[in-house]
């Protein structure tokens, strides 16, 4: 598999998905978040304690949806969501998902932890920054604390689409020190996946129409088996 999606093309594809087939943002977020939860469930046992770190953008929204599904699966998620959603259509979407999580009695906290310890959590879901974030400008509070905790923890980290702080094409270019154990690529792996050295790499986001996959040269992506929302990628899928 030699199908990678650059930052520019990934942004373009998201726009086209919401124009051509008519997906809404909440549809895409729901499918992405479900695949993230399924990937965690493929590796960590039910009832595992999952710390879900969510940023202010769509990556964070995927994390919120994943937390809800994980709770239904039987896991014990705790959400860290340091920002307040804006009073916009997109912001109200995040507010709604947060309320759904609270209605399931998922703890939602604003204050980022300064330390993430194995005595408290079994896995950390990194849904802080996605492919639109520019790490060259550094991390503003409170996400500077979030990134410090992520880079220093010994608890296994599972990153959504892009390990937070990584350059989309060049990996850990800015020296964030984040070395996730799992990467869940969405739609298609981004070029930084070539630098991923963790044990588990999955592809999720089962919503790409075949004609669009062909238009973006993504026909080399592996097929999702049966009713699965994820497919495991091996080293040959990320290092070519």
Q: What's the maximum distance between 2 C-alpha atoms anywhere in the chain?
A: 48
Say if residue 14 carries a ligand binding annotation: no
> What gap in Å lies between CA 56 and CA 69, rounded to an integer?
20
List, in order of start, the domains of the chain with CATH numbers.
7-237 (3.40.50.10260)
Does the pLDDT at position 236 exceed 80?
A: no
Give backbone dihedrals phi and psi of 50, rounded to 5 degrees, phi first.
-115, 120
Q: Quote the DSSP letter at residue 200.
A: E
Does the pLDDT at position 2 exceed 60?
A: no
State pLDDT tens for residues 90-145: 788 999 999 999 999 999 999 999 999 999 999 999 999 988 887 777 888 899 99
Tokens of 210: 């075949």
- Average pLDDT of every residue of the chain: 91
Say if residue 164 carries a ligand binding annotation: yes
Q: Which helix (H) or strand (E) holds 62?
A: helix 58-73
Say if residue 161 carries a ligand binding annotation: yes
Say if residue 61 carries a ligand binding annotation: yes
**How confident is residue 61, by pLDDT bands cut at 50, 70 and 90?**
very high
Strongest mean pLDDT among 14-18, 150-154, 219-223, 235-239:
150-154
pLDDT value of position 220: 86
**Residue 17 Cα distances to 8, 28, 35, 164, angstroms:** 14, 9, 18, 24
Does the pLDDT at position 23 exceed 50?
A: yes
Give backbone dihedrals phi and psi of 158, rounded to 5 degrees, phi first.
-115, 120
Does the pLDDT at position 68 exceed 90?
A: yes
Does the pLDDT at position 239 exceed 50?
A: no
Q: Which helix (H) or strand (E) holds 173?
A: none
Say if residue 126 carries a ligand binding annotation: yes
State pLDDT tens for residues 177-199: 899 999 999 999 999 999 999 99
Q: How far is CA 190 from the centre of its chain?
A: 12
Say if residue 87 carries a ligand binding annotation: no
Tokens of 95: 């507010």
Task: Find the mean pLDDT for residues 168-184.
Answer: 92
């Amino acid at each position: 598999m030699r199908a990678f999606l650059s930052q520019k093309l990934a942004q373009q594809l998201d726009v086209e998905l919401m124009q051509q087939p008519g997906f809404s943002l909440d549809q895409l977020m729901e499918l992405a978040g479900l695949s993230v939860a399924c990937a965690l469930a493929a590796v960590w046992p039910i009832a595992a304690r999952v710390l879900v770190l969510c940023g202010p953008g769509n990556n964070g929204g995927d994390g919120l949806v994943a937390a809800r599904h994980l709770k239904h699966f039987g896991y014990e998620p705790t959400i860290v969501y340091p920002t307040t959603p804006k009073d916009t259509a997109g912001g109200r979407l995040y507010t709604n998902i947060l309320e759904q999580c609270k209605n399931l009695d998922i703890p939602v906290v604003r204050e980022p932890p300064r330390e993430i310890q194995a005595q408290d959590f079994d896995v950390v879901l990194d849904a802080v920054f996605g492919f639109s974030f520019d790490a060259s400008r550094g991390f503003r509070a409170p996400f500077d604390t979030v990134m410090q905790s992520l880079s220093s923890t010994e608890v296994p980290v599972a990153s959504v689409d892009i390990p937070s702080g990584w350059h989309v094409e060049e990996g850990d270019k800015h020296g964030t020190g984040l070395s996730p154990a799992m990467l869940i690529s969405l739609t298609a792996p981004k070029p930084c996946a070539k630098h991923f050295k963790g044990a588990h790499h999955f592809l999720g986001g089962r919503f790409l129409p075949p004609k669009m996959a062909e238009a973006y040269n993504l026909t080399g992506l592996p097929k999702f088996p049966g009713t699965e929302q994820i497919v495991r990628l091996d080293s040959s899928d990320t290092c070519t």
